[in-house]
């Protein structure tokens, strides 16, 4: 890091700290703390034994230098030769892509005994180098009196300009500006990018995904959700500034632990009406739709290993989302979060009315009006946008329409140049043109069309008229769609891809009835998106004013929502009671695997691995202090969310004792509100990680690199 960069970091860190200190919390175990805010915490009092400054201190090497963002997950360096530990589910797609029916690494696991055997992936790896507060620069020339759209454009233009300026100064780094609070606080991050990440060790699927979707978001848990990859730079293993030490003894109940990672998104400072939108529209609609999509894909892939591998990543993502959403719905039903949020908002409004102009008393009523509009179009907006991801044939037809319009609007003299430079546009077509089965593709589109029809807002009428349908049943919609899909040119993906790559004009000039359907929905979608965008722009413009009301009322007593930037959360290894008369201990053991194991299904475990579980006499330090069996899962009351998958669980000395991968079902509601009574996060204990590598896979070369002797 050059001297100017260090100087910026030291000087401006103070500004960032002061600006965000207004967002602190009174309940210290709750919170995903930005790095600049760590100085406001007393982690020593909470149980930290290492120097707090050794976690993060501007301009110095700390534990945070061992952290990486790996795709949409977190990972951490665990050796001086670039080994990174993360979750099995975080590399699931990469392993599926590397697998084939002949070499099914997803099913059987993978272990590279040396660097030459490691398999390249497309996983991007980001390392946070520095950051600074750029709020003043981002908000420069934003006029509070201008329209929300104009304010949004000014901010967008400023973001683009600042990013370009920084990118020019630091061409080798990735520059990103993160919104810490809408329209109020912005932080510029500088990342080092490593684009060569290779698979080193992946446990068998029966270990890494034991319990499958049945146990997803559930405690007790018994899966070894971990994998190990290696980062390279210039063809050589990357040497990190810091890597984590491993504590083979793990941790015990009530021990202090903390997690560093890149949590995705929380919505704790959003208006009460946002939760109504989630509860009444997004959550039920998407979970219902994903359930149907999952069932169809599983049915199509049954008994076909090739299709199972093609669908694996999609099914994992859909299943994870739908169960998460169901957990949130249950949480909103079982808790008083919605009621509490509306009561809080009413108190804020009364405070605003009595503030003698100190804060704007029109903000909260206007937010309510805007969400009423937003919720009135939400169902159709959500469903119509799902069409592009559910049906690869529809997506390709839609993109063809867009490109044809762009081509025809180009001056005739320049069309040849447009075609010659259409590679990026055509790559965009290919990116969403995913068709494994024409039958599944048409069924998914037909189901979405019928769902739009059932909203009774009339936005499916033109498409139904085109299909010759009036007041149809779902079966009639499917039959009509099947006729079109069965004769469509988009069913021949190989031929179309050849045209897209080699004969773009032929692709653009093609005719197909799916294109007609896409053309019918395009203006409808455009109108919805425009209305949605206008509502969202005004809400964004109101959010800083809502924050002003909260700051005045609470005297600055809250933290910024998570936004995929590096954060710290801390707490304790701790069980809980999720329901009446039920208490969950904070550790699970191999005994639980032996109890659950079945010859097939989500609890499938091969007999050879079961025999090892039954007969191997592991070192005592890998065992539960009371149960006498190897520890598998660990439970703790930390504040985590999506993006924390793969985050290291660290003990009081900053040593690795586990890898975070999930939350309990009751804690899916964390995205809206954290609560000590039900918010629990789940990780795979480091003792099980080491046990599996040693006794299940014989990954001795990896253990040797980790300086672990068992």
Cα–Cα distance for residue pair 172/498, rounded to 1 Å? 35
Encoded tokens for 602: 């989500």
Structure confidence at residue 580 (pLDDT): 80
502 and 382, same domain (yes or no): yes
Structure confidence at residue 87 (pLDDT): 98
What's the mean pLDDT in 193-201?
A: 97
For residues 258 and 251, the answer to whether their CB atoms sit within 8 Å is no
Strand partners, 569: 259
Cα–Cα distance for residue pair 86/93, rounded to 1 Å? 14
Of the pLDDT bands very low, low, confident and very high (cuts 50, 70, 90), residue 235 is: very high
Residues 6+ apart with CB under 8 A from 199: 91, 94, 95, 98, 105, 110, 112, 118, 119, 121, 227, 229
CA 228 to each of CA 76, 121, 198, 260, 659: distance values in angstroms, whole numbers, following the listed order: 10, 12, 9, 18, 11
Of the pLDDT bands very low, low, confident and very high (cuts 50, 70, 90), residue 36 is: confident
The pLDDT of residue 303 is above 70:
yes
Interval 413-459: pLDDT, tens: 999 999 999 999 899 999 999 999 999 999 999 999 999 999 999 99
Angle, in degrees to the nearest 10, between helices 423-432 and 392-409: 160
The pLDDT of residue 17 is above 50:
no
376 and 428, same domain (yes or no): yes
519 and 597, same domain (yes or no): no
Residue 682 lies in a domain: yes
531 and 628, same domain (yes or no): no
The pLDDT of residue 24 is above 80:
no
Residue 462 lies in a domain: yes
Of the pLDDT bands very low, low, confident and very high (cuts 50, 70, 90), residue 5 is: very low
Q: How many residues does the chain have?
A: 710
For 684, other C-beta atoms within 10 Å of its C-beta total 31
439 and 535, same domain (yes or no): yes
Structure confidence at residue 180 (pLDDT): 87
Residue 45 lies in a domain: no
Cα–Cα distance for residue pair 563/329, rounded to 1 Å? 22
Cα–Cα distance for residue pair 621/201, rounded to 1 Å? 23
Give the DSSP H or E segment for 143: none
Interval 367-414: pLDDT, tens: 999 999 999 999 999 999 999 999 999 999 999 999 999 999 999 999
Residue where a domain terminates, one of 514, 545, 576: 545
383 and 507, same domain (yes or no): yes
Residue 415 lies in a domain: yes
504 and 433, same domain (yes or no): yes
Which has more pLDDT, 9 or 293? Answer: 293
The pLDDT of residue 22 is above 60:
no
CA 462 to each of CA 63, 446, 452, 458, 469: distance values in angstroms, whole numbers, following the listed order: 58, 14, 12, 8, 10
Of the pLDDT bands very low, low, confident and very high (cuts 50, 70, 90), residue 557 is: low
505 and 376, same domain (yes or no): yes
Of the pLDDT bands very low, low, confident and very high (cuts 50, 70, 90), residue 21 is: very low
587 and 699, same domain (yes or no): yes
What's the mean pLDDT in 565-594?
A: 92
Please give the backbone phi and psi of residue 572, each rounded to the nearest 5 degrees, phi first.
Answer: -145, 150
What's the mean pLDDT in 652-661?
A: 98
Structure confidence at residue 558 (pLDDT): 61
Cα–Cα distance for residue pair 553/346, rounded to 1 Å? 12
Burial code (b: 16+ CB inside 10 Å, e: under 16) for 333-364 equals: eebebbeebbeebeebbebbeeeeeebebebb
Residue 440 lies in a domain: yes
Average pLDDT, the chain: 92
Encoded tokens for 344: 């809080």
Cis peptide before 224 (omega within 30 of 0): no
Share of the chain above pLDDT 90, in %: 81
Share of the chain above pLDDT 70, in %: 95
Residue where a domain terminates, one of 545, 578, 599: 545
Of the pLDDT bands very low, low, confident and very high (cuts 50, 70, 90), residue 182 is: confident
Cβ-in-10-Å burial (0-12, 13-18, 19+) of 401 comes to: middle
Cα–Cα distance for residue pair 207/692, rounded to 1 Å? 8
Encoded tokens for 643: 């993006």
The pLDDT of residue 116 is above 60:
yes
Interval 658-694: pLDDT, tens: 999 999 988 898 899 888 888 999 999 999 999 999 9
541 and 582, same domain (yes or no): no
Residues 6+ apart with CB under 8 A from 616: 695
The pLDDT of residue 559 is above 90:
no
Cβ-in-10-Å burial (0-12, 13-18, 19+) of 526 comes to: exposed
Encoded tokens for 242: 């810091």
Burial code (b: 16+ CB inside 10 Å, e: under 16) for 231-254 equals: bbeeeebbebeebbebbbbbbebe
The pLDDT of residue 216 is above 80:
yes
533 and 586, same domain (yes or no): no
Residue where a domain terminates, one of 481, 513, 545: 545
Cα–Cα distance for residue pair 578/679, rounded to 1 Å? 9
Structure confidence at residue 3 (pLDDT): 38
Domain count of the chain?
2
Q: What angle do CA 678, 684, 689 make, to 5 degrees?
A: 170
What's the mean pLDDT in 147-168?
A: 94
For residues 78 and 707, the answer to whether their CB atoms sit within 8 Å is no
DSSP letters, 620-676, are: GGGB-TTT-SBEEEEEE-----TT-TTPEEE-TTS-EEEEEEEE-GGGGGGGT---T
Give the DSSP H or E segment for 618: none
Residue 390 lies in a domain: yes
Give the E-state strand segments of 420-471 in sequence order.
Answer: none
The pLDDT of residue 588 is above 60:
yes
367 and 494, same domain (yes or no): yes
Of the pLDDT bands very low, low, confident and very high (cuts 50, 70, 90), residue 95 is: very high
Residue 22 lies in a domain: no
Residue 640 lies in a domain: yes
The pLDDT of residue 9 is above 60:
no
**Domain coverage including residue 630:** 567-705
């Amino acid at each position: 890091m050059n001297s100017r960069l260090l100087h910026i970091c030291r000087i401006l860190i103070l500004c960032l700290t002061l600006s965000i200190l207004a967002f602190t919390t009174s309940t210290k175990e709750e919170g995903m703390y930005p790095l600049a805010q760590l100085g406001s915490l007393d982690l020593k009092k909470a149980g930290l034994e290492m120097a707090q400054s050794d976690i993060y201190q501007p301009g110095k090497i700390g534990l945070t230098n061992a952290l990486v963002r790996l795709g949409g997950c977190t990972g951490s360096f665990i050796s001086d030769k670039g080994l990174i530990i993360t979750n099995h589910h975080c590399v699931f797609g990469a392993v599926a892509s590397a697998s084939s029916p002949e070499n099914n690494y997803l099913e059987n696991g993978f272990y590279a005994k040396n660097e030459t055997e490691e398999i390249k992936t497309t996983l991007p790896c980001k390392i946070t180098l520095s950051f600074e507060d750029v709020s003043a620069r981002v908000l420069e020339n934003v006029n509070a009196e201008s329209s929300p759209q104009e304010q949004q454009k000014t901010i967008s233009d400023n973001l683009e300009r600042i990013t370009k300026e920084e990118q020019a100064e630091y061409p080798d780094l990735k520059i990103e500006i993160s919104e810490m609070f809408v329209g109020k606080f912005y932080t510029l991050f500088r990342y080092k990018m490593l684009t060569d990440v290779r698979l080193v060790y992946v446990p068998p699927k029966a270990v890494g995904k034991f319990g499958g979707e049945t146990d997803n978001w559930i405690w007790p848990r018994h899966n070894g959700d971990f994998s190990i990859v290696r980062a390279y730079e210039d063809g050589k293993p990357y040497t990190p500034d810091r890597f984590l030490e491993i504590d083979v003894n793990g941790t015990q109940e009530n021990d202090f632990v903390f997690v560093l990672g890149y949590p995705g998104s929380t919505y704790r400072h959003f208006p009460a009406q946002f939760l109504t939108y989630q509860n009444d529209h997004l959550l039920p609609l998407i979970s219902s739709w994903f359930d149907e999509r999952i069932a169809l894909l599983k049915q199509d892939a049954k008994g076909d290993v090739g299709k199972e591998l093609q669908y694996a990543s999609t099914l994992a993502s859909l299943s994870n989302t739908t169960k998460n959403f169901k957990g949130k719905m249950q949480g909103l039903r079982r808790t008083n979060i919605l009621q509490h949020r509306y009561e809080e908002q009413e108190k804020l409004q009364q405070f605003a009315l009595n503030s003698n102009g100190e804060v704007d008393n029109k903000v909260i009523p206007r937010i309510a009006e805007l969400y009423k509009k937003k919720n009135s179009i939400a169902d159709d907006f959500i469903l119509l946008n799902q069409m592009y991801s559910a049906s690869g044939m529809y997506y390709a037809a839609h993109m063809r329409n867009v490109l044809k319009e762009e081509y025809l609007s180009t001056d005739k003299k320049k069309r040849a140049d447009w075609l010659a430079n259409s590679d990026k546009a055509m790559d965009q077509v290919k990116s969403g043109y995913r068709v494994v089965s024409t039958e599944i593709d048409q069924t998914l589109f037909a189901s979405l069309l019928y769902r739009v029809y059932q909203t009774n807002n009339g936005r499916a009428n033109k498409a139904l008229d085109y299909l010759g349908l009036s007041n149809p049943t779902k079966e009639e919609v499917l039959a009509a769609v099947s006729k079109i899909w069965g004769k469509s040119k988009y069913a021949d993906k190989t031929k179309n891809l050849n045209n897209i790559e080699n004969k773009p004009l032929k692709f653009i000039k093609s005719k197909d009835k799916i294109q007609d359907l896409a053309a019918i929905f395009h203006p409808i979608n455009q109108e919805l998106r425009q209305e949605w965008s206008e509502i969202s722009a005004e809400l964004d413009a109101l959010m800083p004013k809502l924050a002003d009301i909260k700051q005045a009322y609470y005297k600055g007593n809250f933290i910024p929502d998570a936004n995929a930037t590096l954060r710290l959360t801390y707490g304790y290894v701790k069980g809980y009671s999720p329901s009446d008369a039920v208490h969950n201990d904070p550790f699970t053991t191999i005994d639980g695997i032996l109890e659950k194991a079945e010859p097939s299904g989500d609890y499938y475990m091969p007999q050879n691995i079961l025999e090892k579980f039954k007969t191997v006499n592991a070192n005592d330090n890998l065992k539960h202090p009371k149960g006498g069996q190897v520890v598998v899962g660990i439970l703790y009351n930390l504040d985590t969310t999506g993006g924390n998958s793969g985050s290291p669980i660290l003990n009081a000395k900053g040593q690795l004792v586990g890898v975070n991968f999930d939350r309990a079902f009751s804690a899916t509601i964390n995205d809206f509100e954290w609560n000590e009574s039900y918010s629990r996060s789940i990780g795979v204990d480091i003792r099980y990680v080491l046990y599996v590598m040693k006794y299940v896979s014989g990954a001795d070369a990896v253990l040797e690199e980790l300086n672990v002797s068992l």
